[in-house]
Amino acid sequence: MKVYLDNAATTRVAQEVVEAIEPFNSQKYGNASSLHSFGQDAKEALENARKLLAKRINAEPDEIVFTSGGSEANNLAIRGMAQINGFGHIITSKIEHPAVLQTCKDLEKQGFEVTYVGVDAQGRVDLKSLESSIKDHTFLVSIMHVNNEVGVIQNIAEIGKVCSDRKVVFHTDAVQSFTKIPIDVKNMNIGLASFSAHKLHGQKGIGMLYVRKGIKLKNQITGGEQEFKIRAGTENVAGVVGFAKASEILTQEDITRMSNLKKHLRQELLNISDTKINGPDDGLCNILNVSFRYIEGESILLRLDAEGVAVSTGSACSSANLAPSHVLIAMGLEHEAAHGSIRFSLSKYTTKEEINYTVKCARTVVIELRKISPLTPRGDKNV
């Protein structure tokens, strides 16, 4: 059996999306900037998709800038704001995606001031410390909606309100949450928001940045005048059409089913001794992060892979710089627990049989690896 439980990394492209995209590769392949009918057909599709996606987040179509994905959207938001301001202070959190964290680190080198607010043991950003970090020259707060490793959901409506009261622009990385949790940029006082299609059964390499009217950004890719002169480059019409289609496929039933399957998986995995959940119980419907004590995550991942089950890990051994997950460390996990952490992430296509098979494999793999580990206490019942 093959089980894909790495949907927070990327997802299968939905058949509906494949079909929606096809004509824009084979027939309506014009450049959306061209005046002939090929171009105008592409332009029409592009603008319809823009309208639909704008509506999904309660924005206006001319507030949507298409990008090559979530990373570019985050870069455009943060660098674009910083370069317009020239100097000043940014607030973000310690658990952001590298596309935000590394961008902020880079800006620090260029002379900007950055505060990285901490999180509690569940990964929640402390609103009080966020608010007290705001200074006169703070121009941007960037806090992700849902964390990609542990699924913790931040209260972005509250953060948006604080930012609005203090007249600071609020950016949120909504790459993981989009279509799983409703987002309303107007009511939540969001100034900038990043999205990516490949987390919701769209294609890789297409995303968008919501830019509230009135917010000025320095373009990061210069060239033609596409995307309101904020992002040059021939529009990826097929990608955008697929993105719009993808934003429609998740139903409320899908979300409920994923939540129930996640709960089931959580319960079953907790039956394995010395196992602990990282992150809150009320996290995103499809992300479950678990630490298996005494064993190492890359080993678990590869053994599960040999059984056909695909997951990911926050273990130091699996990262290029041999550092454990910055998210788990910020939540106060010990290195050993971060070492044995595994992320299971479900999709609307995940079945109960797949979850049961995964639990069975996980139990065997954990027991086998614990037999190899010198850390396993002698006489451990599970060994």
Partner 1 sequence: MYSKEILDRFKNPKNVGEIKSPDAYGKVGNIACGDIMELFIKIDAGKITDIKFKTFGCAAAIASTDVLCDVVKGKTVDEALKVSKKDILAVMGDVPPVKVHCSVLATEALQEALKKYQSKQSTGSK
- Alpha helices (H) in 214-296, listed in sequence order: 237-246, 252-270
User: Is 325 one of the binding residues for partner 1 (CB under 8 A)?
Assistant: no
Exposure pattern of 33-55 as b/e (b: 16+ CB <10 Å)?
eeeeeebebbbebbeebbebbbe
Task: Find which of ligand PLP, partner 1, none residue 176 binds, CB within 5 to 8 Å per kind.
Answer: ligand PLP
- The phi, psi pair for 231, rounded to 5°, reads -150, 105
377 binds partner 1 (CB under 8 A): no
Told to check if 270 binds partner 1 by CB under 8 A, we report no
Residues in touch with ligand PLP (CB under 6 A): 69-71, 97, 99, 144, 148, 173, 175-176, 196, 198, 207
Q: 257: which residues sit within 8 A by CB, 6+ positions away? A: 348
Q: Please state the closest distance from residue 1 (CB atom) to ligand PLP, in A.
A: 26
Measured from the CB atom, is 62 or 305 closer to partner 1?
Answer: 305
Cα–Cα distance for residue pair 145/23, rounded to 1 Å: 34
- The three-class DSSP label of residue 312 is strand
Q: Verify binding: residue 315, partner 1, rule CB under 8 A.
A: yes
**Residue 374 binding: pick among partner 1, ligand PLP, none (C-beta 5-8 Å cut-off by kind):** partner 1
Among 111, 302, 351, 377, which residue sits at the site for partner 1 (rule: CB under 8 A)? 302
Q: How far is the CB of 296 from partner 1 (least distance, A)?
A: 5
Q: Which does 299 bind (CB under 5 to 8 A by kind): ligand PLP, partner 1, none?
A: partner 1
Region from 141-149, 239-247, 280-288, 331-339 binding partner 1, contact rule CB under 8 A: 331-339
Q: What letter would DSSP give residue 192?
A: E
Active-site hit among 104, 285, 317, 361 = 317
For the bound state, the minimum distance from the C-beta of residue 275 to partner 1, rounded and expressed in Å, comes to 16
Amino acid 327 reads V
Rounded least distance, CB 94 to ligand PLP, Å? 14
Shortest spacing between CB 360 and partner 1, in angstroms: 17
Chain CA centroid to CA 373, Å = 33
Q: Are 16 and 249 in contact (CB under 8 A)?
A: yes
Query: Is the CB of residue 211 less than 8 Å from the CB of residue 217?
Result: yes
Nearer to partner 1, 74 or 313 (CB): 313
Distance CA 270, CA 291 (A): 10
Helix (H) or strand (E) segment spanning residue 296 = none
Is 361 one of the annotated active-site residues of the chain?
A: no
Supply the minimum distance, in Å, between the C-beta of residue 71 and partner 1.
23
Instruction: Verify binding: residue 380, partner 1, rule CB under 8 A.
Output: no
Residue from the set 318, 347, 350, 358 that interacts with partner 1 by CB under 8 A: 318
In the complex, the smallest distance separating the C-beta of residue 66 from ligand PLP, rounded to whole angstroms, is: 12
172 binds, among partner 1, ligand PLP, none (CB under 5 to 8 A by kind): none
Q: Look up residue 313 and give its amino acid.
A: T
Near partner 1 by CB under 8 A: residue from 1, 35, 121, 372: 372
Please give the backbone phi and psi of residue 77, each rounded to the nearest 5 degrees, phi first: -65, -50
Query: How far apart are the C-alpha atoms of 310 and 316, rounded to whole Å?
Result: 18
Say what the alpha-carbon torsion angle 141, 343, 71, 101 is, to the nearest 10 degrees: 40
Please say which residue, 97 or 180, places its beta carbon nearer to ligand PLP. Answer: 97
The interface with partner 1 within residues 192-221 (CB under 8 A) comprises none
Site string for partner 1, 242-261 (x = CB under 8 A): --------------------
Cα distance between residue 382 and residue 368, in whole Å: 10
The CB-based long-range contact list for 265-271 (8 Å cut-off, 24+ gap) reads: 265/344, 265/346, 265/355, 265/358, 265/359, 266/290, 268/355, 268/356, 268/359, 269/359, 269/362
Please tell me whether residue 153 binds partner 1 under the rule CB under 8 A: no
Residue 342 touches partner 1, criterion: CB under 8 A: no
State both tokens at 248.
């429609």
Choose the contact partner of 189 out of ligand PLP, partner 1, none; CB within 5 to 8 A by kind: none
| Mode of pairing for the β-strands spanning 287-292 and 192-196 | unpaired
Catalytic residue ranges? 317
What are the residues binding partner 1 (CB under 8 A)? Answer: 294-296, 298-299, 302-303, 306, 315-318, 320, 322, 335-336, 339, 371-375
